[in-house]
Amino acid sequence: MKIGTPKEIFEGEARVAMTPDSALQLQKLGHECLIEAGAGAAAGFADEAYAAAGVTVVEGAEALWAQADIIAKVRPPSDEEAVRLTESKLLISFFWPASNEALMQLAADQGASVIAMDMVPRISRAQKMDALSSMANIAGYRAVIEAGNNFGRFFTGQVTAAGKVPPAKVLVVGAGVAGLAAIGTSTSLGAVTYAFDVRPEVAEQVESMGAQFVYLDFAEEQQDGAATGGYAAPSSPEFRAAQLAKFRELAPEMDIVITTALIPNREAPELWTEDMVKAMKPGSVIVDLAAERGGNCKLTVKDEKIVTDNGVTIVGYTDFPSRMAAQSSTLYATNIRHMMTDLTPAKDGVVNHNMEDDVIRGATIAHGKAVTFPPPPPKTK
Ligand code: NAD
């Protein structure tokens, strides 16, 4: 079948869902690849590189959507794109179905199938298709780089002829996929790194990366936020009070704070309050990776960088993966390629949309003229 990737039209989006390398792999599955002219330019992939990889370069989005059977893209379709999702087309992209119900219904009504990359079940077998994790990994890395760029000192401690420099102190709040990537980057740059999470099971991982896990003096165990499925649940008022008290104690000492705390289907918990920002030293930096969902820091402004009266820089950007478009496109295109491998079991260029397969079923939100979201829980781990 023909797999086509259009140029992303969301303002500022630099990623692309197909790379010359992923196209080579897709062709080995028996598919033909198409790319809209210029689609990879912002991520550093020229039309010539696609052509050299056997991809047909198509002029204009309309022609691309009309010719492709399968559309692979990054962002959910715009209204203009959605009308091109006609009978029997398959769309593979991020979709956020819970927030885009009308769009999902439209796709189903038009007879298109949609695989939402954000709905890939987080089970072991699906890790290679887990685009949420591959993008969170990049965001965590980039958050540290962004912090360093706004911080006027070294990360690592140094003894130089011109004087002794202490290492920076970095606190990472939330040790999920993005938080762990931030911890790894911070320790490898030589900062003294601390991390906190409501899920006590991550303490070992944090410590194995050379960071110190922040424990609370709270009852017997720091377990209040742990819930099913590996995700966090909202904390009790007592737990939250203990957590904030600990953060208040740490705030004057920390040079950089990277917040990544999220709870599924909720606004981000507010964990870094105004008084904590005020208690930080001038020149300190906060990078709030939860900015998209309201922010973990009270003073975060979404998509902006601000400097407070006491000289603390707060970064609320929500497009970290797009700021590293070459890397994120490579990983995202690989996630899509793995999805296509599962959809093309005979490697004969024919899609078998097998709704008995846990991963395919979980990620499919429209199929056979019906909305198929939310999916049943996966049967396997
Ligand atoms: P997430 O983005 O939903 O949340 C980020 C982190 O914030 C989580 O670690 C969460 O515990 C933490 N958090 C929530 N409230 C907090 C608070 N008040 N204070 C401090 N931290 C708080 O999580 P994620 O990165 O998507 O990962 C969630 C889980 O899913 C992890 O257990 C991860 O290992 C697991 N996971 C599994 C797979 C797989 O098996 N395929 C893939 C990815 C992630």
174 pLDDT more than 70:
yes
Tell me the three state secondary structure of residue 297: strand
Reported ipTM exceeds the 0.85 cut = yes
Query: pLDDT at position 234, please?
Result: 83
Tell me: the pLDDT tens digits for 302-350? 999 999 999 999 999 999 999 999 999 999 999 999 999 999 999 999 9
Tokens of 218: 């709270």
- How far the first Cα of the chain sits from its last, in Å, is 31
298 pLDDT more than 90:
yes
Q: Cite the beta strand spans of the chain per DSSP E.
A: 2-5, 32-36, 56-58, 70-72, 90-93, 113-116, 158-160, 163-165, 169-173, 192-196, 212-213, 256-259, 285-288, 305-307, 313-315, 364-367, 370-371
Tell me: the pLDDT tens digits for 190-214? 999 999 999 989 999 999 999 999 9
d(CA 251, CA 281): 9
Tell me: the pLDDT tens digits for 236-280? 899 999 999 999 999 999 999 999 999 988 999 999 999 999 999
Pocket probe mutation, ligand 1, options 123, 262, 288, 293, max atoms within 8 Å of Cβ: 262
Q: Give the HSE-up count for residue 205: Cα atoms under 13 Å, Cβ half-sphere.
A: 17
Strands of the sheet with 313-315, listed across from one edge: 212-213, 192-196, 169-173, 256-259, 285-288, 313-315, 305-307
| Ligand 1 atom having least distance to the Cα of 175 | 9
Residue with tokens 């296509």: 340
Pocket probe mutation, ligand 1, options 117, 132, 197, max atoms within 8 Å of Cβ: 197
Report the candidate in 231, 265, 232 with the shortest Cα–Cα distance to residue 99: 265
Calculate how far, in angstroms, residue 205's C-alpha sits from the geometric centre of ligand 1: 13
**Closest CA to ligand 1's atom 39:** 122
* Angle at alpha carbon of residue 243, lines to 238 and 248, rounded to 5°: 125
Report the candidate in 365, 375, 367, 376 with the shortest Cα–Cα distance to residue 97: 365
Calculate how far, in angstroms, residue 4's C-alpha sits from the geometric centre of ligand 1: 33
Do 133 and 127 meet the contact criterion of CB atoms below 8 Å apart? yes
169 pLDDT more than 90:
yes
Query: pLDDT at position 265, please?
Result: 84
150 pLDDT more than 90:
yes
In the predicted model, what is the mean pLDDT of residues 84-108? 97
Is residue 127 among the annotated active site residues?
yes
What contacts 4, CB < 8 A, 6 or more positions away?
A: 33, 34, 35, 36, 58, 64, 65, 67, 68, 70, 71, 72
Calculate how far, in angstroms, residue 31's C-alpha sits from the geometric centre of ligand 1: 36
Query: pLDDT at position 377, please?
Result: 86
* Angle at alpha carbon of residue 131, lines to 175 and 99, rounded to 5°: 90
Calculate how far, in angstroms, residue 173's C-alpha sits from the geometric centre of ligand 1: 11
Mean of pLDDT over the chain: 95
d(CA 358, CA 378): 5
48 pLDDT more than 80:
yes
Do 176 and 262 meet the contact criterion of CB atoms below 8 Å apart? yes
| Ligand 1 atom having least distance to the Cα of 264 | 3
Tokens of 96: 């956020």
Please tell me which residue, 234 or 81, carries the higher pLDDT value: 81
In the predicted model, what is the mean pLDDT of residues 145-164? 97
375 pLDDT more than 60:
yes
Query: pLDDT at position 308, please?
Result: 98
| DSSP string for residues in 27-86 | HHTT-EEEEETTTTGGGT--HHHHHHTTPEEESSHHHHHHH-SEEE-SSPPPHHHHTT--
Query: pLDDT at position 233, please?
Result: 81
Q: Is 125 in the pocket of ligand 1 (CB under 6 A)?
A: no
Query: pLDDT at position 380, please?
Result: 74
User: Which candidate in 122, 125, 293, 323 is catalytic?
Assistant: 122
pTM of the model as a whole: 0.95
Calculate how far, in angstroms, residue 185's C-alpha sits from the geometric centre of ligand 1: 18
pLDDT grade, residue 221 (50/70/90)? Answer: low
In the predicted model, what is the mean pLDDT of residues 129-158? 98
227 pLDDT more than 80:
no
> Length of the chain, please?
381
228 pLDDT more than 80:
no
d(CA 334, CA 85): 23
